A and B are shown apart, each in its own frame.
Chain A
Amino acid sequence: MDVNVPDARLMPATLAPPAAFSGRGRRFAWTLLLLAVAFGAVPAAIVGTGSSYLAQIAITTMIFVILSASLNHVTGTAGLLSIGHAAFYGIGAYAAALLSTKLGLPFIVTLPAAGLIAALFGFLVALPTMRLVSIYFAVATLGIGEMIYVILLNWVDFTRGPMGIRGIPPIELFGWQADTLLSRYLAVAVIAVACVWVLHRLTHSYYGNALRALREDDQCADSMGINVERLKIESFVVATFFAGIAGALLAHTSAYIAPDNFRFMESILILAMVVVGGLGSLPGAVVGALFMIVLPEALRDIGDYRMIAVGATMFLSILLLPKGMLAEGTALGFVRRSFSRGWATIAGGTPVGWK
């Protein structure tokens, strides 16, 4: 181990950057910046340009931020590769659409109801499939996702099949209607930020560490007294709940849903967001969703070559950053950083510590 190599991380405290730009302070600054963009810059741009296209992209991005953050919870943190996530998104969307068009329930009821119904389906799916490991679980979720898609498509009496459901009322809270572009965006953004915050609190806790333990090695976690089976089911149910919420937002903002919004390729798109952003890292999931939604739109000018460029960019980003854009920090790296910080000043300015 080389201990005498000067390294920016090992600088004496006097030379270290100010506290606001390291550790907790830097995280706080980034959060503030993101919130400022979400609630300052984007609404200003929507109002300034009055473009419904821009608003639509912003809303779609926010919905996919929820989806990729929730998939990251089950696939990144708990390590269960799920490739049927779009089906639960679909269940949420159909639940909200049917409850509001057939029963006339208000948004304040349909939003949680969509989440709960999706979570109930998630629970029913999780019960028999949690014994499966690795790729077997992934394929089971694929199969169940496709089954749900086939049912949505073919049960015409209930879901209107390929015609989809029209005329879903917009978001409405106690008489306040989100009928302008700006208010629709703001309503979705507030809910998305709330969802991400809840997922953040769940994963950055001892509970989240238990999930990471079963991702790294479920047999080992089991032998240390972690209730593996129960945690896996819980994480899957939480993820499907948020997918259902995202579905309800889609139904209420686009007023029209059809089964094709919830196909296998959509699940793969969500998975791609999580992997491109960094599996297991919540900021990564958010950035991945931004990247995968905004990139195809930004490339609209090259027309037909757009999807080729998207595929190529996805390939390059995975090739060059296989752990993702904002990769989850490793446990070893954390320990090394902590020790280095503690040891940096010991020998009177001489850099000491691990490289």
Chain B
Amino acid sequence: MVFDVFFLQQVINGLSIGCVYALMAIGFTLIFGVLNVVNFAHGEVYTIGAFVGLMVITALAPPLLAVVPLVLAVGAVSGVGLERIAFRPFRRFTDEASQKSRAMREATLLSSLAVSIVTREIMMHIFGGDMQGIPSGYLLQQPVAIGPIMVASGSLVIFATSAVMLGALQFLLYRTQTGLGIRAVSNNQLGARYVGINTDRTIVTTFAVGSMLGATAGILVGLYDGAISPHMGFAPGVKAFVAMVMGGLSSIPGAVACALLLGVSESIATEFLSSGWKDLITYSLLVITLVFFPQGLFGHGRERA
């Protein structure tokens, strides 16, 4: 009885939500990897992606495939801008006392939060606080029949886009010089600097790549749900953050796996519980995971700080 058609459909819905969380969680993981700081403004990049997509759609009415590169470009620009404003000023202290200082690290975390507040409020001013509808021609909600199951076309688009982006990311990280630099900096920033890697440029690149993934997730969700608002980035941002930590902070496969797990369990939970209790499942999974795996599911053991 459990494996009926409806259940399978819920799993597929969950997987598509999970893919969105995964795209965001990868951005978190990449940025946390190189800087060791949580980027609280990642949810705002997601919102910017959605709103720029909407603006382009209403102004120019381009084909859907043309929207994606544009959103990617906007994501990259906002990532670079974010790094400039919220993170670079705090790297001016290079002495050991500042680098080990907890106050400094928490200050960087809160500076990204302050930037995210300002960004969100500015977007509220421009677009208003209400939900905005996406023109119906672009909605990805047509049902598609695969055998006995009906799937929204948006799910398929999300799967396809995520697969392409994950493949591209894998290529970037493991087959190019830039990717080697990113991996080196996240392994050991000082060591990377000693062997001649331009760490500042690598960090900027990482922000650009991570924010491209986040902005894409934003426009995909906008097209899938049909409505966007300046506050839309908050909930998926927290979920993606949770997925990153469950996966072990530094592991991209771990973050993706946990994001999919969260998406599916949320979607199945709505079948048994009223939607208000849905979030309880996410956070219980998080706490249980951390109690039994204090370094996350795929994390490494603790290094001597």
Which of B66-74, B211-219, B285-293 is the interface stretch? B285-293
Chain A CB within 10 Å — which of B90, B114, B125, B286 has the most?
Answer: B114
Taking CB atoms, residues of chain B closer than 8 Å to A219 are: 304-305
Q: Which residues of B contact A319 (CB under 8 A)?
A: 89-90, 111
Q: A129-B291, A280-B103 are in contact. Are A318 and B245 (CB under 8 A)?
A: no
Note all chain A residues with C-beta closer than 8 A to B291: 128-129
Q: Is B295 close to A, CB under 8 A?
A: yes
**Known pairs A81-B106, A142-B238, A311-B121; A268 contacts B113 (CB<8 A):** yes
Proximity string of chain A (316-345) to chain B, C-beta cutoff 8 Å, 1 when within and 0 when not: 001100111001101000000000000000
Question: Is B242 an interface residue when CB atoms closer than 8 A count as contact?
Answer: yes
A318 touches which of B114, B241, B249 (Cβ 8 Å): B114
A315 to B294, CA, bound (A): 33
Chain B interfacial residues counted at CB < 8 A = 45
Closest to B115 in A: A315
CB proximity of B298 to chain A, nearest CB, Å = 13
Q: Determine the residue in chain B with the shortest Cβ distance to A153.
A: B276
Q: Chain B nearest CB: distance from A189 CB in Å?
A: 28
**Does A143 have its Cβ within 8 Å of any Cβ on chain B?**
yes
User: In the complex, what residues of B have CB within 8 A of residue A272's CB?
Assistant: 110, 113-114
Judge whether B101 is part of the interface by a CB distance below 8 angstroms: yes
- Tell me whether A102 is interfacial, beta carbon within 8 Å: no
- In the complex, A271 Cα to B106 Cα: how many Å? 9
Whole-angstrom distance between the alpha carbons of A45 and B70 in the complex?
A: 56
* A318 to B37 alpha-carbon distance, docked (Å): 15
Is A136 close to B, CB under 8 A? yes
User: With an 8 A cutoff between CB atoms, is B274 at the interface?
Assistant: yes
Minimum C-beta distance from A348 to chain B (A): 35
> In the complex, A127 Cα to B93 Cα: how many Å?
36
Chain A: interface secondary structure?
Answer: helix
Taking a contact as CB atoms under 8 Å apart, the answer to whether B286 and A279 are in contact is no
CA distance A310 to B245 in the complex (A): 30
Q: Which residues of A contact B282 (CB under 8 A)?
A: 143
Central interface residue in A75, A131, A279, A322, by most chain B CB within 10 Å: A322
Assess whether A147 is interfacial by the CB under 8 Å rule.
yes
Query: How many angstroms between the C-alpha atoms of A135 and B117 in the bound complex?
Result: 22
CB pair A318–B283 under 8 Å, yes or no, is no
| A314, B116: Cα distance in complex, Å | 11
Interface contact B113-A140, CB-CB below 8 Å: no
Contacts known (A275-B106, A314-B110); A143 close to B286, Cβ less than 8 A: yes
Contact size class for A?
35 or more
CB distance from A304 to the nearest CB of B (A): 7
Q: Is the CB of A322 within 8 A of B113?
A: no
B:94-124 near A, CB below 8 Å: 97, 101-104, 106-107, 110-111, 113-115, 117-118, 121-122
Q: Does B33 contact A (CB under 8 A)?
A: no
Kindly state whether residue B296 has any CB partner on chain A within 8 Å.
yes
Q: How far is A25 from B4 in the complex, measured between Cα atoms in Å?
A: 77
CB contacts (< 8 Å) of A128 on chain B: these are 287, 291
> 1/0 per position for A124-141, CB-CB distance to B under 8 A?
000011011101100110
Decide: A147 and B287 in contact? CB cutoff 8 A.
yes
- Determine the chain A residues whose CB is within 8 A of the CB of B106 once the complex forms: 75, 81, 271, 275, 279
B53-100 CB contacts (< 8 Å) to partner A: 86, 89-90, 93, 97
Would you call the interface of chain B mostly helix, strand, loop, or mixed? helix
The smallest C-beta distance from A219 to any residue of chain B, in angstroms, reads 7
Kindly state whether residue B280 has any CB partner on chain A within 8 Å.
Answer: yes
Which A residues are CB-close (under 8 A) to B102? 79, 215, 279-280
Question: A75 — which chain B residues lie within 8 A by C-beta?
Answer: 106
- Asked whether A34 is an interface residue with its Cβ less than 8 Å from the other chain, the reply is no
The interface residues of chain B lying within 8 Å CB-to-CB of A278 are: 103
Of B274, B294, B296, the contact of A154 (CB 8 Å cutoff): B274
Verify if B38 is at the interface (C-beta below 8 Å from A).
yes
Please pick, from A147, A217, A268, A318, the residue contacting B111 in the complex, using a CB distance under 8 A: A318
Contact status A323-B104, CB under 8 Å: yes
Q: Quick check: is A210 within 8 A (CB to CB) of the other chain?
A: no
Q: Which residues of B contact A311 (CB under 8 A)?
A: 114-115, 117-118, 121
By the criterion CB–CB under 8 Å, are A151 and B107 in contact?
no
CB within 8 Å of B: which of A228-258?
Answer: none
Chain A min CB distance to B108 (Å)? 8
B114 A150 Cβ-Cβ under 8 A = no
* Chain B residues positioned under 8 Å from A131 (CB to CB): 294
In residues 135-169 of chain A, which contact B (Cβ within 8 Å)?
135-136, 139-140, 142-144, 146-147, 150-151, 153-154
Indicate whether A308 reaches chain B with its CB closer than 8 angstroms: yes
Q: For the complex, what is the distance from the CA of A144 to the CA of B284, rounded to whole Å?
A: 8
What chain B residues lie within 8 Å of A280 (beta carbons)?
A: 102-103
Contact A146 B279 (CB under 8 A): yes
A308 touches B121 (CB 8 A): yes
Q: Give B241's nearest chain A residue, CB to CB.
A: A139
The answer to whether B103 touches A279 (Cβ under 8 A) is yes
Chain A contacts for B287, CB-based, 8 A: 128-129, 140, 143-144, 147
State in angstroms the CA–CA spacing of A336 and B114 once bound together.
35
A31 to chain B, nearest CB (A): 24
Given known pairs A139-B290, A150-B277, A154-B276, the reply for A314 and B114 (CB within 8 Å) is yes
Instruction: Flag whether A20 is at the interface (Cβ < 8 A).
Output: no
State whether the Cβ of A291 lies closer than 8 Å to any Cβ in chain B.
no
11 residue pairs bridging A and B, Cβ less than 8 Å apart: A131-B294, A136-B295, A139-B241, A144-B283, A144-B287, A146-B279, A275-B107, A310-B117, A318-B107, A319-B111, A322-B93
Which of A's residues lie within 8 Å of B, judged by CB? 75, 79, 81, 128-129, 131-133, 135-136, 139-140, 142-144, 146-147, 150-151, 153-154, 215, 217, 219, 264, 268, 271-272, 275-276, 278-280, 304-305, 307-308, 310-312, 314-315, 318-319, 322-324, 327-328, 330
List 5 A-B pairs, minimum CB-CB distance, nearest first: A311-B117, A315-B114, A311-B118, A143-B283, A279-B103
Known: A131-B294, A311-B118, A322-B104. 8 other contacts (CB 8 A): A129-B290, A136-B296, A139-B290, A142-B241, A146-B279, A146-B283, A154-B274, A314-B114
